[in-house]
Amino acid sequence: MRTRVTCGAVARVGIIGMAALFSGVGSYGFLVIVARNTSVADYSDFAVFWSMTVVVGLGLFYPLEQETAREVAGTPGSVARGLARTVWSAAGVVVVLLSVLSLVFLTPYGQEYIGSALLICALLVSFAGYAVQFPIRGFLSGAGRTTSYSLLVALEGLMRITLPVVLVVAGVTGSVGFAYVVGVAASVSAVPFLFGRDRRWLAREQPPFGLFVGRLGRLIAAAVSIQLLLNSGVLIAKALGEGADAVLAAQILTCISIARIPIFGYQVLQILYLPRLAAQWKNGQIAAARVTIGFAIRASVAIAIVIVVGMLTLGDLATALLFGADLVLPQDGVLFVSVGVAVFLVALVVSDGALAVGLHTVVLRSWMLALVFGAAATASAALAAAGTLVTSTLPLIAGSIVALLSLAHGLKCRFSQEQRKATGLLK
């Protein structure tokens, strides 16, 4: 029995690892193709579009996946599909609200900021694609359908490579055509699973509606703060960049894109972490949960060190090779970005651990606090005339440190509380 479990665990890691590889190659190959087939100025506009899709996808829809997975994990199947109705209703509401908010880009300043009104339409397509994909991912993740989840992720990565290549061969130029690939790949990769013959993974009882929506709302607020913080460098640089700094947004995007490769990998591999930890916590396996989260944090710290060292030694070469010499960020900028991404990764792993044990309010408070400190860092750097580069990259470092400290404290208190309960010291 022990051998079968070990082999099964190794097989799951292998399958998910391959999916992460396909997803990473798809995402970064996509950015490379766009960079190589657009001007630097056009790619700066695309950088803003890409950052916005990441903020929306991982800030609004990824929490829906996480909360769905958490709700499904450790619970038996059901004939009813009340949870599915709740989840897709929430996704639909998010799409409508985002579509209304996107009207701000039709203003003169909005169009100047994003670069093209057609990119707004591409944003709407990406919203719809995410509303289809992320709920399906949540159900598959929570139900332990590792192979199906991995296949979906890999298929999206494959489409992010093949569709841009088709556009290039067809002679399509400019960022607008490439922008539509994001939403199309997200939706098309997920639809086959929704209409498959075996849909037992969708069958779950509807939880208390207010409780689910309340948790989701807090998680979305935290996730939006997370993604605004992570993508703040691009968004701030685009708003402030003039003259020699006009291409800084594109340079920061390329640097962050390389530095956060482990983050994209983690977002796929978290199927091994979040549902497992949530199930252990629900079943009262506190010691096992402590081991799981301890391993995840130690691994993230090791990877964070690799990010900083790797970017300082090979970041310039990798950027020039993949994206072109014009998009290489100065070395001090590489240092700021890599340190920010490294601390952010550790904070994200701790944050998901806090989510798995039900600390939704702590997660929200920590990332909102991080966003406030990030904004304060931006204002301080601007008032000190520190330059666009420092002003753009400092918020990620400051905010991530604050989030990590707050989340670690909340998680430590939670485990200490449960330990006291277990020993009879707290009634």
Residues 162 and 293 reside in one and the same domain: no
Residues 102 and 58 reside in one and the same domain: yes
- Give the per-residue pLDDT at 3: 39
- 183, 207, 231 — which closes off a domain? 207
Residues 416 and 289 reside in one and the same domain: yes
Long-range contacts of 286-292 (CB under 8 A, 24+ apart): 286/415, 286/418, 286/419, 286/422, 289/356, 289/357, 289/415, 290/415
Residues 139 and 45 reside in one and the same domain: yes
Taking a C-beta distance cutoff of 8 angstroms, is the pair 241, 386 a contact? no
pLDDT digits (tens, 9 = 90+) for 134-143: 999 988 888 8
Asked if the structure places residue 251 within a domain, the reply is yes
Question: Distance of alpha carbon 89 from its chain centroid, rounded?
Answer: 22
Q: Which residue has the higher pLDDT, 71 or 314?
A: 314
- Give the per-residue pLDDT at 12: 67
Residues 166 and 223 reside in one and the same domain: no
Residue 2 above 50 pLDDT? Answer: no
pLDDT digits (tens, 9 = 90+) for 415-427: 988 877 767 654 4
Residues 135 and 236 reside in one and the same domain: no
Residues 155 and 191 reside in one and the same domain: yes
Residues 202 and 235 reside in one and the same domain: no
Q: Which domain holds residue 247?
A: 217-427
Structural domain total, the chain? 2
Q: How would residue 401 be classed by pLDDT, with cut points 50, 70 and 90? A: very high
Residues 191 and 259 reside in one and the same domain: no
pLDDT digits (tens, 9 = 90+) for 211-226: 788 888 888 888 888 8
Residues 135 and 239 reside in one and the same domain: no
pLDDT digits (tens, 9 = 90+) for 84-131: 888 888 899 989 998 888 888 888 877 777 777 888 899 999 999 999
Nearest to 234 by CA among 370, 51, 25: 51
Taking a C-beta distance cutoff of 8 angstroms, is the pair 60, 233 a contact? no
The pTM for the full model equals: 0.73
- 172, 207, 242 — which closes off a domain? 207
Residues 99 and 153 reside in one and the same domain: yes
Asked if the structure places residue 112 within a domain, the reply is yes
In this structure, what DSSP letter does residue 385 have? T
- 207, 230, 264 — which closes off a domain? 207
Which residues have a Cβ under 8 Å from the Cβ of 312 and sit 6 or more positions away? 331, 334, 335, 338
Asked if the structure places residue 212 within a domain, the reply is no
Residues 184 and 260 reside in one and the same domain: no
The lowest-confidence range among 33-37, 103-107, 393-397 is 103-107
Question: Distance of alpha carbon 112 from its chain centroid, rounded?
Answer: 27
